[in-house]
Structure 1
Amino acid sequence: MEVTKKVAIRTRATETRKTSPRWKKRLPYIIAYGVLGITTLPIILMYLWLLVSSFAKQMKYGFIPVQFTFENWKFLWSNVEQAGTTYPNIWLATWNSFVFSGSLTILEVIIGGMAGYALSRLDFPGRKGLMKITLLLHAFPSVALLIAVFYILNFLGLFDSLWGVVLVKTALQIPMTAWIIKGFFDDVQWDVEWAGLIDGCSRFKVWYTIVIPLIKPGIAAVSIFSFLSGWSEFLLLYSFILSDEHVTLATYLQNLISNPNLIHYGLLSAVSLFYMLPVMILFIFSQKSLMQVSVGGGKRV
């Protein structure tokens, strides 16, 4: 009997040793996913409400769909008319949003890439002081510069012009973009550039053909963030764009809620989903590039 008890105790101890490490390894993941699930549940419910509301004629008690309809999505094939007001074409607003975001991304990547390389590699007078005030320049809120920007755009003849707002937004974003890209340039070894210079390449050719391909993850991350910043921009566009031919999706949404007494929540939900769709597609195709990004160094100050 004693031998049998000892064997049973040893068997239980062995089983406990086999099972307990598994639970100990899985416990942090279970806790992490549980916390993430609880914190993201309100956001998931919000997007679910938008989806249901966009296809419902009415929401009873605010969350129960009453009747299924495609009427809320009629802005895709015709102009929206509400309370005697005809809103601009949604495809024109979409095109303007893509032009604005794409132009902003191109300018930021080109100018920010050159500025980041100069801050990382070149030793010029005032370099340290410029780096110290770079983040300070980015810290200025756009609303504090509206009056000054208005006078500048009006003087240049770029008021009520999409390209004028592109230039303003680019100028506000470049300090942070240059700082981020500088960190990636700092991670590139000097030996790589010296090898290109010894082979007879110019400084620009070394930068374009050798260094830039080595920081592709950083360029991809900056491009994505620049596009998202332009896509979500509202204040500058609302302040300096007056005509309907230059309307973007952000200002289009504002037009739908300009009169609180005449808000069509089904239409507003449908346009909001349409507004988010390009961003969701961009995230799906770019998440691999974002996962490859390592934090830039900033080794050389």
Structure 2
Amino acid sequence: MEATGYQKLTIPTIHPVSKWKKRIPYLVAYGILGITTLPIILMYVWLLLSSFSKKMKFGFIPTSFTLENWSFLWSNVEHGGSELPSIWTATWNSFVFAGSLTILEVIIGIMAGYALARIEFTGRQTIMKMTLLLHAFPSVALLIAVFYILNFMGLFDSIWGVVLVKTALQIPMTAWIVKGFFDDVPWDVEWAGMIDGCSRFQVWYTIVIPLIKPGIAAISIFSFLSGWSEFLLLYTFTVSDNNVTLASYLQKLISDPNMINYGLLSAVSLFYMLPVLVFFIFTQKSLMQVSAGGGKRV
């Protein structure tokens, strides 16, 4: 018999057309994303160019470079015949409001979420069913009622009063999100801690809380961003210049449509965005670790 030897291996050649067919879905996806995000990108580019320009030719091309629009950083701005508060006062108030809201919301939300996930009590099912409805209730419909409450408590024209109101409106959704993370923690972990001699609080604080750090990071980020961008409640319930925030500061710049300085408005808007961008850069890794969805236990 004739030896057959090794069989010759043939590597199939990939036709260029088939390569392009595989890339078509990616090209379509990136094309759609590029088209939909292009207006947003152009908007931010215009904002940057306008903040460093005295005048924009054809509404988009800067004619000359200037730092005059950023003079609010070292001096107070005069607008409409009056002097606006210091931008640093507004910045400090915005940080105080967003930071206080974040701390309160995280602490209360964690405790409420744990109670909903682990403790059986009367009305538990009703509370969970009403949670999303309470969060969806428009805050603008409560403005008059909130005004009377804050005025009665002596907290009108106080940032701390608005912090309490905003916290109360945010807690339902925060507790619901945290409950999902607690549902993902097995009961066996808690039982093992209590068998080792830990109290219920020690188990919750030293064992369970570290296991839901991604969830805590997520609600902290969203709470801070929600507080930083808040306008309606702060504009309604804080009226003095000492309690002005950056959102209210921007409103003062556009209060008179006939006197808007778009260069100054662009510069202040960029300044308002910078802390959010920095905050997102340092927290995006925590956001990426958050898994979508929670436990199914009710």
Q: Give TM-score scaled by structure 2 length.
A: 0.94
Superposed counterparts of 1:14-25, under 5 Å: 14-16=12-14, 19=16, 22-25=19-22
How far apart, CA to CA, are the structure 2 residues paired with 1:37 and 1:109? 36
Could you tell me the percent identity over the aligned residues? 79
Superposed counterparts of 1:101-180, under 5 Å: 101-180=98-177
Q: Which runs of 5+ in 1 are unaligned?
A: 1-10
> Secondary structure in 1 aligned to 2:197?
coil
Once the two structures are superposed, what CA deviation does each residue of 1:204-248 show, in whole Å capped at 9, x if it has no partner?
Answer: 111111111111111101100000000010000000001000100
CA 1:257–1:120: 2 relative to 1, 3 Å? same
Q: In angstroms, what is the RMSD of aligned CA positions?
A: 1.4
How far apart, CA to CA, are the structure 2 residues paired with 1:164 and 1:82? 29
Give the counterpart letter for 1:138 in structure 2.
H
> Secondary structure in 1 aligned to 2:255?
coil
Q: Give TM-score scaled by structure 1 length.
A: 0.93
Q: Which runs of 5+ in 2 are unaligned?
A: 1-9
Contact map agreement 1:96 1:246 (CA 8 A) in 2:
yes
Superposed counterparts of 1:208-223, under 5 Å: 208-223=205-220
Contact map agreement 2:177 2:294 (CA 8 A) in 1:
no
* Correspondence 1:248 to 2:245: yes
Contact map agreement 1:104 1:227 (CA 8 A) in 2:
yes
Aligned to 1:279: 276
Aligned to 2:180: 183
How far apart, CA to CA, are the structure 2 residues paired with 1:161 and 1:103? 13
How far apart, CA to CA, are the structure 2 residues paired with 1:39 and 1:98? 32
Higher helix share: 1
* Correspondence 1:200 to 2:176: no
* Correspondence 1:29 to 2:26: yes
Q: 1:82: how far off?
A: 2.3
Q: 1:31: how far off?
A: 2.1
Number of paired residues?
289
How far apart, CA to CA, are the structure 2 residues paired with 1:287 and 1:39? 22
> Secondary structure in 1 aligned to 2:105?
helix
